[in-house]
Amino acid sequence: MGAMRTVLTATLCLFAAAGRAESGGETKPDARKNPPVVETIPVKPGDRWTYRWIDDITGETKSYQSYTLTEIKDGAFTVAITVAPVGQGLPTTALHVFDESWGLLDDGVWTRKSGDPVTGVRLPLKVGARWETHFTASRKNPDRESTIDATSVVTAFEEVSLRFGLTYDAFKIETNETVTTMGSPVATVKVDLWYAPAVNRYVKRVVEARSNDRLQSRSVEMLTEYRRRREE
């Protein structure tokens, strides 16, 4: 069980969570809007996104997390992450690497041979798009490797209303992953992600993790602030 939990932590390194009542977010299709096609993600170093993470099972806010893009290099985004726990401890920092579609490659512990789709998109992004991803995630000390099979579908382009007075038009992407690790129970991960072109990243993400089809965790992550690099 410990090994499986570690694998899930790596696969979902960016979990965020909010209870249904606490999530403060609503989504609704808008037939008046013509869904766009997103060809690029025009981010630049200095851009920053801050999210509220709440546990959907307990309804508790766990932390606020800020992601600052520090560098674009070798076809990847380098991101400095600051995690500020609510009511306990001091903020911590980490460095993660994503591909240029926001798929997670490296969280400092686990590395992936292709971007994990539970955090990213696939370009060109449009309603109806579907893609499959097969990759491995590995770590050292102790050595461990997991095989992940994922299917992602862009199911809608809809309005997402969050707390803090924020509303975005976003693509809803549904991803299902199966994580296989020798000596551990089969783990499954279901992710609903809303990617908003206006902020070049997701504004809401709902994650449900199961072990042998038993619920292990459920979470929601919501954008609270987005800042672009300041130009003098």
Q: What is the pLDDT of residues 24-54, one digit of tens each?
A: 466 665 545 689 999 999 999 999 999 999 9
State the DSSP H helix or E strand holding residue 9, giving kind and residue range, or none if neither. helix 2-11
Q: What pLDDT score was predicted for residue 88?
A: 82
Q: What pLDDT score was predicted for residue 16?
A: 35
Q: Output the pTM of the full model.
A: 0.86
Query: From CA 90, how far away is CA 84, in angstroms rounded?
Result: 7
Domain spanning 2-227: which CATH class is it, in words? Answer: mainly beta
Mean pLDDT of the chain: 88
Q: What is the pLDDT of residues 127-153, one digit of tens each?
A: 999 999 999 999 988 899 999 999 999
If you write DSSP's letter for every residue of 134-182 in order, what string do you get? Answer: EEEEEETTTTEEEEEEEEEEEEEEEEEE-STT-EEEEEEEEEEEEEEET
Q: What is the pLDDT of residues 1-32, one digit of tens each?
A: 444 444 444 444 443 333 333 444 666 655 45
The whole-number average pLDDT for the span 84-113 is 95
Phi, psi at 2, each rounded to 5°: -60, -40
CA distances from 131 to 121, 125, 150 (A): 10, 11, 8
Phi/psi region, residue 75 (left: phi>0; alpha: psi -120 to 50; beta: rest), is: left
Asked if the model's pLDDT at residue 169 lies above 90, the reply is yes
Q: What pLDDT score was predicted for residue 156?
A: 97
Report whether 224 contacts 44 (CB < 8 A). no
